[in-house]
């Protein structure tokens, strides 16, 4: 049985949401057709893997600020990245993780690809 294209919604699709500019059509339930029609923010991955429309908290938050620190401990010396994220310019969380110099290089390559699109 088909499901509404919105992530996490198990309703049976009864309507078609048409994005004229992009020539996309999505099968959605009546509830989400109304929400989309009223201009609720939405996103869909363009790499073809997702196939689901993201809405509400499923939409990735925005990057607000980033910093890094050098820490020492039982694992020796490491570098930690601290990324502040939020919505509408308001910070509502911080993601912290350790990266090796090699991983930082991988990350830099990924970010350079995005920068190249700018
Ligand atoms: Zn739905």
pLDDT tens digits for 67-108?
999 999 998 999 999 999 999 899 999 999 999 999 999 999
Mean pLDDT of 31-55: 87
pLDDT in tens, 6-31: 999 999 999 999 988 878 889 999 99
Q: State in Å: Cα 75 to ligand 1 middle.
A: 47
Mean pLDDT of 40-69: 88
User: Do 95 and 80 have their domain in common?
Assistant: yes
The confidence score (pLDDT) of residue 118 equals: 78
Q: State in Å: Cα 34 to ligand 1 middle.
A: 10
User: Do 39 and 52 have their domain in common?
Assistant: yes
Q: Which residues contact 14 (CB under 8 A, 6 or more apart)?
A: 29, 30, 33
Cross-strand bridge partners of residue 77:
72
Q: State in Å: Cα 24 to ligand 1 middle.
A: 17
Q: State in Å: Cα 54 to ligand 1 middle.
A: 11
User: Do 29 and 42 have their domain in common?
Assistant: yes
The confidence score (pLDDT) of residue 105 equals: 96
Residues whose Cβ atom is located within 5 A of ion ligand 1: 4, 6, 9, 11, 29, 32
Contact 27, 52 (CB under 8 A): no
Of 2-6, 27-31, 46-50, the one with minimum mean pLDDT is: 46-50
Could you give the maximum distance between any two Cα atoms of the chain, in Å?
A: 57
What separation in angstroms does the CA of 101 have from each of 50, 55, 68, 79? 31, 35, 12, 8
Domain count, the chain: 2
User: Do 22 and 45 have their domain in common?
Assistant: yes
Q: State in Å: Cα 35 to ligand 1 middle.
A: 9
Q: State in Å: Cα 84 to ligand 1 middle.
A: 31
Q: State in Å: Cα 85 to ligand 1 middle.
A: 27
Domain housing 67: 62-117
Residue that terminates a domain, selected from 24, 42, 58: 58
């Amino acid at each position: 049985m088909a499901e509404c294209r919105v992530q996490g919604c198990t309703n049976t699709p009864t309507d078609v949401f048409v994005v004229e500019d992009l020539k996309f059509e999505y099968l959605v339930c009546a509830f989400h057709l109304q929400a989309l029609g009223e201009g609720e923010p939405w996103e869909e991955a363009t790499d073809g893997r997702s196939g689901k429309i993201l809405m509400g908290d499923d939409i990735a938050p925005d990057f607000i600020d980033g910093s890094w620190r050098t820490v020492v401990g039982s694992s020796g010396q490491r570098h930690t990245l601290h990324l502040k994220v939020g919505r509408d310019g308001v910070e509502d969380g911080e993601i912290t993780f350790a990266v090796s110099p090699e991983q930082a290089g991988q990350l830099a390559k990924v970010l350079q690809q995005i920068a190249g699109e700018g």
